[in-house]
Amino acid sequence: MIASYQGRCQARVDTALQQLLRPQLDELARLYEAMRYSVMNGGKRIRPLLVYGACEALGGDLANADGAACAVELIHAYSLVHDDLPAMDDDDLRRGQPTTHKAFDEACAILAGDGLQALAFSALSDATLGQLGDSTRLQMVRALAQGAGAAGMVGGQAIDLGSVGMKLDQAALEQMHRHKTGALIEASVVLGALASERARPDDLKALKTYARAVGLAFQVQDDILDVESDTATLGKRQGADIARDKPTYPALLGLEAAKAYAEELRDQALHALRPFSASAEPLRELARYIVERRS
């Protein structure tokens, strides 16, 4: 089921992203080329899938979630462009292709990331990407800003860079990843729920519990794959975290215990969805997929 759902949602968000990534001036052609390269070079589109899944779980119209789906993917893409820069993780490979600063240059990559971040918020306010009330849009802008900014993803990246070579305990490691990876995943689910315009407080509480569990499970599985997979399958350099002496779950817990923890988090996510009907099945399948994926 998840492959079919993923295919439909990917096609939907990619069509909208293509529209957003059209250059406004001839002089900006190279900048937009770098932006498109960073966004349209593959990717599983997990965050847009979570947006659509949360909207669908509450009986919303997926057309009203298109802006949010674009926004979270644009933020994710910008974060990868900047993460890969020499001053950050200094990576040469992303999704099996040269990273943006290698395909273009560092200055262009920085500007492309900046442009993608701003475009994400523009997408949330774009009336062609969903018929939503102004109050709903303001809530969505706030949720994305919190998930992407210093209180969320960017803060987690700062903690990550400051933790290289350190031995973190599990609580500190989870604090880092609930920001770096989990905050944008939680924002994706919240944005989808808000786009339905049907979310009650109890719904949001349950969906946030789900999102926190899958967000952490995603990172645990990433750490496992960094040990078990290979560069060709991952599309990025295998063993990069080990080479940089970054704290990871397999290093802290051991590989088998890390796998068990990922499965425990998946089960927590599924438990959080118990109040929801079959309309939440895509979210359930995503929780399973996040732990079972091999790349």
pLDDT tens per residue across span 169-219: 999 999 999 999 999 999 999 999 999 999 999 999 999 999 999 999 999
The pLDDT confidence band at residue 238, using thresholds 50, 70 and 90, is: low
In this predicted structure, what is the pLDDT of residue 228?
85
- Report phi then psi at 94, rounded to 5: -145, 125
Mean pLDDT of 78-89: 96
Closest CA to 2 of 259, 287, 193: 287
Tell me how far apart the alpha carbons of residues 256 and 2 are, in angstroms, rounded to a whole number. Answer: 26
In this predicted structure, what is the pLDDT of residue 239?
59
Mean pLDDT of 122-142: 96
